[in-house]
Amino acid sequence: MVPVYPISSAAGIALAVDALRRGEIIAFPTDTLYGVGGDALSPAVVEAVLDAKRREMGKGLPVLLGDEAGASELAAVWPSAAAALAASFWPGALTIVVQARAEVPSQVRLGDTVALRVPGLPALLTIIQKSGRPLIGTSANRSGEPPALTAQDALAALGDSVRLVLDGGRTAGEPSTVVRVEKNSVRVLRAGAISEETLRAVLAH
């Protein structure tokens, strides 16, 4: 039976950090939906995440960071528009797609890009920071099925594919807004929790 721990508990945080350092995958809440993931820089871990989701390769995977400074580990370039958006909306429900560094596994990249976010859930940020590695943050469901909004949803979808599940209660249910930033051009790829008008207002200043 896969154990479930409150994400705010010391035991849950410690066990999650240990699992991630060991190259295992976990399910966890974010400020948007429940996610499943592990070390984003390990091809073997990325394969395990894809297997857990029964998802084919080639679609890319979002990566969760402990802070904006972590973007330099994965982004080949960090345009001023990306920095402005991150300063305004991170931690939070904005995913920024930029050109990827060569070190990012091919299964994580979509073409030559990588999708980055700093989630707005303090306990999850603590886990990412303590693990010392960026975290795959794809939705905790089988490919093509509804997203998980509770720990029980994630457990039912993923079963024993994960080492443990962290419970943070019911999530907001609205996905992050995804934008592609190239030089200083910004394009919305997916509508979400932050409106395009709000994004444009920040960029206008």
The model's pLDDT over 26-65, given as tens digits with 9 standing for 90+, comes to 999 999 999 999 999 999 999 999 999 987 766 899 999 9
Calculate the average pLDDT of the chain. 95
Distance (Å, whole) CA 198 – CA 73 = 28
Average pLDDT over residues 91-115: 96
Long-range (24+ apart) CB contacts under 8 A made by 8-15 are 8/123, 8/168, 12/164, 12/166, 12/167, 13/123, 13/126, 13/127, 13/130, 15/164
Whether the pLDDT of residue 141 is over 80: the answer is: yes
Of 179, 203, 195, 8, the closest CA to residue 95 belongs to 179
User: Are the C-beta atoms of residues 136 and 108 closer than 8 Å to each other?
Assistant: yes
CB 86 within 8 A of CB 114: no
CATH C-level class of 4-204: alpha beta
> What is the percentage of the chain residues whose pLDDT exceeds 70?
99
Q: What distance in Å separates the CA atoms of residue 91 and residue 151, rounded to the nearest whole number?
A: 22
Q: What is the mean pLDDT of residues 128-149?
A: 94
Band of pLDDT at residue 90, cut at 50, 70 and 90: very high
pLDDT digits (tens, 9 = 90+) for 56-84: 766 899 999 999 999 999 999 999 999 99
What per-residue confidence (pLDDT) applies to 58? 67
Residue with tokens 């809440």: 29
Give me the pLDDT at residue 184, please. 76
Question: What is the pLDDT averaged over residues 3-9?
Answer: 97
Q: Looking at 2-16, 19-33, 111-125, 170-184, which range is the least confident one?
A: 170-184
How sure is the predictor about 172, in pLDDT bands with cuts at 50, 70 and 90?
Answer: confident
Domain ranges of the chain: 4-204
